[in-house]
Amino acid sequence: MVTQTETPTRLTLRELAKKPDRLTSGHRMCPGCAAPLVVKQVLMAIDEPVVVVCATGCLEVATTIFPQTAWNVPFIHNAFENAAATASGVEAAYRSLVRQGKIEDDNTRIVVFGGDGSSYDIGLQSLSGAMERGHRLLYVCYDNNAYMNTGIQRSSATPVGANTTTSPVGKVQAGKKGARKDLTAIMAAHGIPYVAQASPHNWRDLMQKVRKATAIDGPSFINVLASCNRGWRHDPADTIEIQRLGVDSCLWPLYEVEDGVYRVTYRPKVKVPVSDYLASQGRFGHLLQPANQYIIEALQADVDRRWERLLRMAGEV
């Protein structure tokens, strides 16, 4: 097994502030976008050399405008559907070169970034294949709940009731119909060594999970809540608070699955109502009307059921 460096950087703000930026300022991501926060935290947690593979999406489009780039690490962009496959090839080639003695094993970490469009939907087959084959890489999904890059269309990560351009609010429907896909559970079902769910508002939790994931000689997956203020329709200044509400309402619980063992990494002292989270975003504004109260009640019941199930799986009930 490949292990971490002997003296990893301490996860303190004082020490982390000394590290060079692997994603620099000057990119074109929207003010208030959580995705670059996620990327910075993920890459800052890793002390070893990194190769980044990025699926098509906001992150790729806004950080690699030719002839400029915001990346200070080796970076490969591929299509929506094949980022995980590309990373698999990079990992296989790297291991081969080490075995042949052509390069020194410097414990290079391979990290894939993809939005929910490329992870939940278009690239799910590629992602599943990479996990099943056992490639040593970390796949990070920055989940902003829709196809934000192409016009805020619904994805299978879009929550019930959300207003998007392809699940609009009107006489026929009150936003997106049906529950969102649980990609974290799907990845855990692959039986891979490490799966986790995280949020950038709890940076230490996220970074600790990244270090666990990249220390493993095998595939790992982390799903990170990453709001899009344009699609979610919230003030850019409220990004971190909205992630916090998502976690404290248990709609987006923080947990990890290590070698099949579930562990909740954060339990809110006060579990806030899901309606507090919904009220913070314009995409759910119509749900606050009395006629749509039943949708909030159904969502609250589903969140409660899933939270209790997670606690049981983690042996905390």
Q: Are 157 and 124 in contact (CB under 8 A)?
A: no
Which domains does the chain show, CATH number per domain? Answer: 13-313 (3.40.50.970)
Q: What pLDDT sits at residue 317?
A: 82
Q: What pLDDT sits at residue 1?
A: 35
CA–CA distance, 179 with 281 (Å, rounded to integer) = 18
Q: Are 216 and 194 in contact (CB under 8 A)?
A: yes
CA–CA distance, 174 with 163 (Å, rounded to integer) = 8
Which tens digits make up the pLDDT trace of 42-93?
999 999 999 999 999 999 999 999 999 999 999 999 999 999 999 999 999 9
pLDDT band at 100 (very low <50, low <70, confident <90, very high): very high
> Closest by alpha carbon to 19, among 75, 72, 74?
72
CA–CA distance, 281 with 66 (Å, rounded to integer) = 34
| Mean pLDDT across the chain | 96
User: Which two tokens mark 27?
Assistant: 């990119």
Which tens digits make up the pLDDT trace of 9-55?
899 999 999 999 999 998 999 999 999 999 999 999 999 999 999 99
Q: What pLDDT sits at residue 6?
A: 60
Looking at per-residue pLDDT, the higher value among 253 and 8 belongs to 253
Q: What pLDDT sits at residue 3?
A: 43
Query: Residue 164 above 90 pLDDT?
Result: yes
Query: Residue 192 above 60 pLDDT?
Result: yes
pTM of this structure: 0.96
Which tens digits make up the pLDDT trace of 102-157?
999 999 999 999 999 999 999 999 999 999 999 999 999 999 999 999 999 999 99
Helical spans, DSSP H, in the chain: 13-16, 35-45, 58-63, 83-99, 116, 124-133, 183-188, 203-215, 229-232, 239-248, 274-279, 293-313
CA triple 109-115-121, angle to 5 deg: 110
Q: Among residues of the chain, what percentage have pLDDT more than 90?
A: 96
Q: What pLDDT sits at residue 213?
A: 98
Query: Residue 267 above 80 pLDDT?
Result: yes
Q: What pLDDT sits at residue 2?
A: 40
